[in-house]
Amino acid sequence: MIKYVFRRLLHGLISVVIVVAIVMIMIYSLMNRDLIFAADPLFTKTANNQRIAYKYQKWEEFGYLDYVPYSDYLIQLRNSGEIDEETRTEAVKLGKKALNDSRVTKEYVKKFEETYSAKGYTVTRLDAMMLGRKYAAGGKEQLFAYKDKPILSRLWEYIKNVFTVDNIHAVEDEAIGDRWIEFTWYDPAYGGDTFCPAIIGNGTKHKYLLYFDNEFPYIHQNLLTISLGTSYTVNQGLDVFDTMNRSQGSYVPRTVYYPTGHVEESADDLHTATYVAGSLGSNVVYKERFTDNYTSVMTYKSNMSKVGFSFVIGIIATFLSYLLGLPLGVMMARRKDKLVDKLGKLYIVFISAVPSLAYIFLFKAIGGKLGLPTTFEMDRANYLMYVLPIVSLALPSIAGLMNWLRRFMIDQMNSDYVKFARSGGLSEDEIFTKHILKNAMIPIVHGIPGSILGAVVGAIITERVYVVPGAGNLLTKAINFYDNGVIVGVTLFYALITVVSIILGDVLMAMVDPRISFNEKAR
């Protein structure tokens, strides 16, 4: 059994990787790259050479290609100590045309072209565009190199970076000093004299690797981070996984003991501190509070994350639909062709035929008439606002469950074992609950893990209609804003959930029904 599940999981992971590859091909190769500029106000302000350079720069940010301007190359050379600042300022001055370059510039331009051509880059030089003796708007000369990322290396890089284990060599900055990991009984983030164990590192990406606090699940870690791709437009600079899991809403201030001893009411969550090279000296605010470069902190916010909202609504709706759908399905099967069955059928036809958008709007209108809140407001905690989204999610799945359970039970009603049980003198109640239901439930059980895990994904229409800040709309939003990182990340997340829930469904089915076995020998 374990061996079988493991093999299925491996199989599933391979297909997830292929799915990610297909999605990458779709968004990076098939889609027209110029579309990202359609709603870009900066793009319309640029012209000529500047516009071309701007395009490449943006494309790099969206992850399409690697773009290296000549000036960046020179800065790189300076940082590695190959040239001094003086040569750099001399070499960076490009002529209006390649012919007009000075001797130093010519030398380094040649070097630049050679280095990047060897790496497979395309080196482009745009000559200055003149209007008489002046530059035309955005007509300054440009020199840069670019290379499209090949799909395989892009895929490999992505998969390699999904899991990162933090270690003391994570920070590359030399200014970090000694690299160490330390265990403390008294977490300095609580003032230093409250008993609270923590593991703190220096040289690691996160300052706190393991810590406790008063929020569920009480013990937290930063040792293993999951990154599904960086968002560019939806939630700038943030990883998709964080976008989905980070709390939202307004700031919640609490007493914070900063490393310098500064105590303040602030929403900063010191446990999330990450290293930003050279940040301490750059800002007076940081200098007052921090003693090292671990200055980038997240904040406490008052509400659940996107996944949190989706999950709460989804899980209650799932629970409700099983609680109501199953008894109703049994009732319909028992009173086949009677009034209950006919009413149930009417309801099933209504739900399965009418576009989901139409009945969700209908529920919204009816709910609004009844005085229920029809839109979600995060900062005004009111449990009534959960009612309509939950109802809108639960009613269709109730119909689905009713339909299938009724179908399966009626199919079972003519089996020999039912006739045998009846001839043996069992009451109808016993036959239905002990025999038919047990057999009819087997295919239903298969869907339970899927509906529970599916709650995390969220519902597109429901969340949109009721303005729920959930995860359901992440994909559509990302598509609308051409946020390639988020599209890939969300796809990976969805695909993983589907694969895992099908496997769990099979396992659960085998647990419920002893006739189903995944053992090699039994088959």
Residues 353, 424, 520, 523: which binds another protein (CB under 8 A)?
353
- Is residue 339 a contact point for another protein (CB under 8 A)? no
What CA–CA distance (Å, rounded) separates 9 from 501? 11
Q: Are 126 and 142 in contact (CB under 8 A)?
A: yes
- Is residue 500 a contact point for another protein (CB under 8 A)? no
- Is residue 365 a contact point for another protein (CB under 8 A)? yes
- Is residue 461 a contact point for another protein (CB under 8 A)? yes
What CA–CA distance (Å, rounded) separates 125 from 113? 10
- Is residue 397 a contact point for another protein (CB under 8 A)? no
Sign for the CA dihedral angle at 205, 209, 215, 216 comes to: positive
Contacts of 457 (CB under 8 A, 6+ apart): 310, 314, 471, 472, 493, 494, 497
Our CB check for another protein shows the closer of 192 and 368 to be 368
Residues 234, 240, 487, 509: which binds another protein (CB under 8 A)?
487
* Residue span 29-68 as binding mask against another protein, x where in contact by CB under 8 A, dash where not: -xxx--x---------------------------------
Q: Each residue of 179-191: b (16+ CB within 10 Å) or e?
A: eeeeeeeebbbbe
Residues 212, 361, 404, 481: which binds another protein (CB under 8 A)?
361
Q: Which stretch binds another protein (CB under 8 A): 12-20, 62-70, 92-100, 439-447?
A: 12-20
What CA–CA distance (Å, rounded) separates 170 from 181? 12
Report the SS3 class of residue 256.
strand
* Secondary structure element (H or E) that encloses residue 407, with its range: helix 387-413
| # binding residues, another protein (CB under 8 A) | 41
* Secondary structure element (H or E) that encloses residue 498, with its range: helix 484-512
Residues 52, 267, 442, 460: which binds another protein (CB under 8 A)?
460
- Is residue 18 a contact point for another protein (CB under 8 A)? yes
Q: What's the min distance (Å) between Cβ of 232 and another protein?
A: 17
Angle at 139 between CA 137 and CA 143, to 5 degrees: 150
Number of H helices, E strands in the chain: 21, 17
- Is residue 202 a contact point for another protein (CB under 8 A)? no
Residues 115, 356, 378, 407: which binds another protein (CB under 8 A)?
356
Our CB check for another protein shows the closer of 318 and 473 to be 473
- Is residue 464 a contact point for another protein (CB under 8 A)? yes
- Is residue 152 a contact point for another protein (CB under 8 A)? no
Q: Are 267 and 299 in contact (CB under 8 A)?
A: yes
Q: Which stretch binds another protein (CB under 8 A): 76-84, 143-151, 384-392, 489-497?
A: 489-497
Q: What pairing do the DSSP bridges indicate for beta strands 163-165 and 142-148? A: unpaired
| Of 119, 101, 344, residue with least CA distance to 110 | 101
- Is residue 22 a contact point for another protein (CB under 8 A)? yes
Residues 109, 499, 500, 503: which binds another protein (CB under 8 A)?
499
Alpha helices in 143-228 (DSSP H): 151-160
- Is residue 19 a contact point for another protein (CB under 8 A)? yes
Residues 1, 7, 9, 15: which binds another protein (CB under 8 A)?
15
- Is residue 151 a contact point for another protein (CB under 8 A)? no
Please classify residue 330 by burial: count the beta carbons closer than 10 Å to its beta carbon, then call 0-12 exposed, 13-18 middle and 19+ buried: buried
Residues 357, 366, 384, 511: which binds another protein (CB under 8 A)?
357
Q: What is the binding site for another protein (CB under 8 A)?
A: 12, 15-16, 18-19, 22-23, 26-27, 30-32, 35, 349-350, 352-359, 361-362, 365, 368, 460-461, 464, 475-476, 479-480, 487, 490-491, 494-495, 498-499
